[in-house]
Structure 1
Amino acid sequence: MELFRQGLRHLMLLLLAISGAAMAQTVAPSGQEAGRAGGAQVRYEVVELLPGTIGSYPRINAAGQVAVSMVIGGRTKGFFYDGAALRQLGFPGGGAVYANGLNDAGQVAGTALNKAGVERAFVWSARGGMRDLAAGKDSGSSYGMAINGRGVVTGSFQGGTRPFRWSAAGGLQDLGSTPAPSGGRVLNDGGVIAGVSTIDDETTRVFAWTRERGLIDIDTLGSIESSPVAVGAGGEVAGNRLASWDDGGDRPFLWTQAGGMRDLGIGRGSTAWVNAMTPGLHIAGAIGYPDGRQRAMSWTRRGGMRELGALGGRTSVARAVNARGQIVGFAENGAGAMRAFVWSERNGMLDLNRLLRRTPPGLVLEQALAINDSGVIVASANTGLVLLKPSSL
């Protein structure tokens, strides 16, 4: 259970950042004006998906399908949007559902309560329905955290203490033991898995797993805490680390098998963190400053770390990035309100609220949370969760 709670850490931190930033009123130069010089802007059609608040961050695949958990009427429910209709996920007679991963085949991985009230790792598809990944091997809690393009799932079982790899052909594979309870978090299509070992209530260590080498402690920088966010196409692992208790905050890292763990720095700030990375190693996240300001950032091997600007306020945070270099997230405007943004090299940071066609009455986009390589965006609004489709599609 502890590993599962830690898997939701960045969701909680981001929501806290939003609520704190919404109270700020300081005005700074806006990126909206700068973006207009780049030519005609893409417009977006709005598809309203679900009411409620976010229970797990939405995932979107190449086809524009979405997996998400929403808190509706006090209950956490899992959903899959197939491009035309919504389907609700769950074990028969079960409870809360956390949809944590989605692949291009429309398979969803996550954690759900079964009818006995036990948390169980699952994979779901429209054709196969819900499948308990640890059935027959483990009667305790298990947690599904991510799924790759080949349908391989990683997570933890035996009460969240041991990492696993699951496939339809091979079933559940125990990845082995570390000196402490551990679980898989993320993986790539090549099957490289990254996860965390929980040393105690305050200390974690990031590991990688490959078929050739098994479990590897990859925190060669000796952090107090470290956790993975994504695995690149070549097996690289990006994530966040806390160097020491008095270090001031998280620092992003990139690990490679050849070079080990590399601290990516904090730019001009006092802290920085990763929220997403493409298979090609384009990283998106934020930089934090001692006075409470935050700035969305990106990092590439070629360009290093750069700030992406803001919409007139103190705060902006990048949440997701696609292979075309489009980055989405949330930013505070000059009035102190949070607004969803899209950023590109050509147009800079733009308020998505100003790019909508036929905006539903009263709708305000507050955060952009996911984007696929076609530029389709999942965002949260004052009405719930929405899908934004570029008008050219």
Structure 2
Amino acid sequence: MPELRAALAVVALATALPLVSAPSAVADPEMVAVVLAGLPGYPDHVTGLNDLGQVVGSAQGPDAPPRAVLWSPRGGATDLGPGLAVEVDRHGQVLGIETRTATAPYRNKPWIWSAGTRTVVAPNTAWASAPAMNGHGAVPVRYSTSLFRQEHNRVGVWEDGRLTELSLSGPDLWVYGINDAGVVVGGYAAFATQDFAAVRCVDGACTRLGDSPGYGTYTPEGITEAGVVFGNRGTVAVRWEGVEATVLSENGRVAHGEQAFNERGDAVGWAADESGTPHAVLWPAEGKQVDLGVPAPAEAVAINERGDVVGWTAADESSTPRAFLWRAGRVTYLDPPTGHHSLPVAINDRGVVVGHTTGADSTNKATLWTPVPTTH
């Protein structure tokens, strides 16, 4: 996830395509499902959306590398160039990554696309990955200085064209999230001594967070503006306030990424019952774990600031997930316009949901579910 700071030619030549000619189906009396029309090939993967209604993902033809895509709420898909789009922020900036070589010499370059210009993140590193971006365009980076060894033992923050290294050392380091105050959450691992920790870094100085049960490495999924961290250690779901760890579930996981929690401190994911079957759950900031009442096996994958939750259930058939929206105890299923399955990825604060469905030809389709305006 080289060294190009001007607009890519492919961006300048990007063709805006209509989303759809008309809403293709009503998934529920309150939601309309629309398939996103994308670039030539298969627009088969979406990764997120913002409150402006912009969606990011990737398109890939049968014999071509993936290309990052930005879908506009007004209609149209824009080709952002080679690679995968990771996320889109509230200003419409897109964070992405391009793998140049998967074998030595390694070249993996993150980038930011903004208003038609694509800029490489941390261009002087040999290999780098960037999982998140804050509202000011600051990006936490995990990187190596060697083209021939995958020693990802350096971490820093890229902002305003400069990479500032974090005060964290070890044989294996990760960064996972950053808030608008520039506080970074990451992880440390020394497999030889079985020493593992989640860390929070403020002004470049990193502090170990409290230990939790579980085994192996910690995977913080992100950090709120108030500095609360959510993550996992194996199948133990954890929340950190300050350095203190609180176990949310000893047999479950917080969902992946920053859509897994909101600024109120609510988080979603799954927790297994006595038989080991996962159930979609909500961990409120104040209160006990809430089973969302969706037939198991099921998982919750995202929550917005209003407390709306999306997830999936595979109770009918394990290979055919069905998306759901949970709002204040009521479950609405988000079915595909055509085809067999629906799998949500994210929900914004306006209640718009993005995810994947299968079409009549069984290919994967990027799909948007939009609330129907109510009249009183």
Question: Is 1:205 aligned to residue 191 of structure 2?
Answer: no
**What is the total number of aligned residue pairs between the two structures?**
323
Give 1:30-49 correspondences, 5 Å limit: 42-49=30-37
Residue 115 of structure 2 corresponds to 126
Residues 167/274 of structure 1: CA separation in 2 closer, same or farther (3 Å cut) = same
Residue 149 of structure 2 corresponds to none
Q: Quick check: 1:365–1:379 contact (8 Å CA) kept in 2?
A: no
Question: Is 1:181 aligned to residue 172 of structure 2?
Answer: yes
Residues 377/214 of structure 1: CA separation in 2 closer, same or farther (3 Å cut) = same
Aligned counterpart in structure 2 of residue 162 of structure 1, from 146, 154, 158? 154
Give 1:211-360 correspondences, 5 Å limit: 211=203, 214-221=205-212, 224-242=216-234, 250-257=235-242, 260-266=244-250, 271-275=251-255, 276-289=260-273, 291-311=275-295, 314-334=296-316, 337-347=320-330, 349-353=331-335, 360=337
* Farther-moved stretch of structure 1 (102-111 vs 65-74): 65-74
Which residue identity does 2:98 align to in structure 1? Answer: A
Q: Distance in 1 between matches of 2:61 and 2:278?
A: 30
Residues 262/333 of structure 1: CA separation in 2 closer, same or farther (3 Å cut) = closer
Give 1:77-92 correspondences, 5 Å limit: 77-83=67-73, 84-90=75-81
Q: Distance in 2 between matches of 1:59 and 1:233?
A: 19
Question: Is 1:112 aligned to residue 98 of structure 2?
Answer: yes
Q: Distance in 2 between matches of 1:204 and 1:219?
A: 11
Q: Quick check: 1:375–1:390 contact (8 Å CA) kept in 2?
A: yes
**What percent of counterpart residues are identical?**
23
Give how far 1:77 is off.
2.8
Q: TM (normalized to structure 1)?
A: 0.75
Q: Distance in 1 between matches of 2:350 and 2:340?
A: 23
Q: Quick check: 1:133–1:166 contact (8 Å CA) kept in 2?
A: yes
Q: Quick check: 2:36–2:366 contact (8 Å CA) kept in 1?
A: yes
1:374 is paired with a residue whose SS is coil
Q: Quick check: 1:199–1:205 contact (8 Å CA) kept in 2?
A: no
Q: Quick check: 1:70–1:76 contact (8 Å CA) kept in 2?
A: yes
Which residue identity does 2:132 align to in structure 1? Answer: A
Which residue identity does 1:164 align to in structure 2? Answer: G
Give how far 1:365 is off.
4.4
Bigger proportion of residues as helix: 1
Q: Quick check: 2:264–2:285 contact (8 Å CA) kept in 1?
A: no
CA RMSD of aligned residues (A): 2.7
Aligned counterpart in structure 2 of residue 191 of structure 1, from 182, 185, 193? 182
Q: Quick check: 2:301–2:344 contact (8 Å CA) kept in 1?
A: yes
Which residue identity does 2:292 align to in structure 1? Answer: L
1:216-269 CA distances to partner (integer Å, 9 max, x unpaired)? Answer: 121433753211112112011100013xxxxxxx11111111x52221234xxx
Give how far 1:149 is off.
1.3
Unaligned runs of 5+ in 1: 2-39, 243-249, 354-358
Q: Distance in 2 between matches of 1:335 and 1:102?
A: 33
Give how far 1:157 is off.
1.8
Give how far 1:61 is off.
0.6
Q: Quick check: 1:113–1:119 contact (8 Å CA) kept in 2?
A: yes
1:280 is paired with a residue whose SS is coil
Residue 66 of structure 2 corresponds to 76
Residue 37 of structure 1 corresponds to none
Give 1:5-84 correspondences, 5 Å limit: 42-50=30-38, 52=42, 58-73=47-62, 75-83=65-73, 84=75
Which residue identity does 1:285 align to in structure 2? Answer: G
Which residue identity does 2:32 align to in structure 1? Answer: Y
Residues 316/53 of structure 1: CA separation in 2 closer, same or farther (3 Å cut) = farther
Residue 99 of structure 1 corresponds to 85
1:93-147 CA distances to partner (integer Å, 9 max, x unpaired)? Answer: xx5x23222211111113213499721121112332x211112x32x11112101
Q: Distance in 2 between matches of 1:366 and 1:166?
A: 36
Give how far 1:203 is off.
7.1
1:263-310 CA distances to partner (integer Å, 9 max, x unpaired)? Answer: 1234xxxx1110111122110100123534211000112222111122
Give how far 1:364 is off.
4.0
Residues 186/49 of structure 1: CA separation in 2 closer, same or farther (3 Å cut) = farther
Q: Distance in 1 between matches of 2:49 and 2:155?
A: 25
Q: Distance in 1 between matches of 2:231 and 2:241?
A: 12
Q: Distance in 2 between matches of 1:163 and 1:325?
A: 33
Deviating above 6 A after TM superposition, structure 1's stretches of 4 or more consecutive aligned residues are none
Q: TM (normalized to structure 2)?
A: 0.78
Q: Distance in 1 between matches of 2:177 and 2:59?
A: 22
